Amino acid sequence: MLAAQSYVQSGRRIVVNVDLEKFFDWANHDILIDRLQKRIAGAGVIRLIRAYLDSGIMDSGVVIERHEGMPQGATALAATTY
């Protein structure tokens, strides 16, 4: 968003939105947790985020394990267990 704002302020009139959907499908959990630990001091918060990431995907009543990617949107919360 900051880059888009900068382009507009520099006189450009068209900004193209990039879809990051595939990033969320393939994000590496270990790298994400490592980066979050550098910014978040609370171990409990990190454990909660890890549980959310590792919660799996429910498809037709069957939970499929997940080791990369992350849940998106409100429907992702329904399959998350703590």
pTM: 0.57
Does the pLDDT at position 53 exceed 80?
yes
How many Cα atoms are found within 13 Å in the side-chain-facing hemisphere of 44? 0
The answer to whether residue 14 sits within a structural domain is no
Work out how many domains the chain is built from and give that number.
Answer: 1
The answer to whether residue 58 sits within a structural domain is yes
Q: Which domain holds residue 51?
A: 21-78
The residue among 66, 46, 64 whose CA lies nearest residue 54 is: 66
Q: Any alpha helices (H) in the chain, and if so which ranges? A: 2-9, 21-26, 29-37, 43-53, 73-78
Instruction: List pLDDT tens digits, range 31-52.
Output: 999 999 999 999 999 999 998 8
The answer to whether residue 36 sits within a structural domain is yes
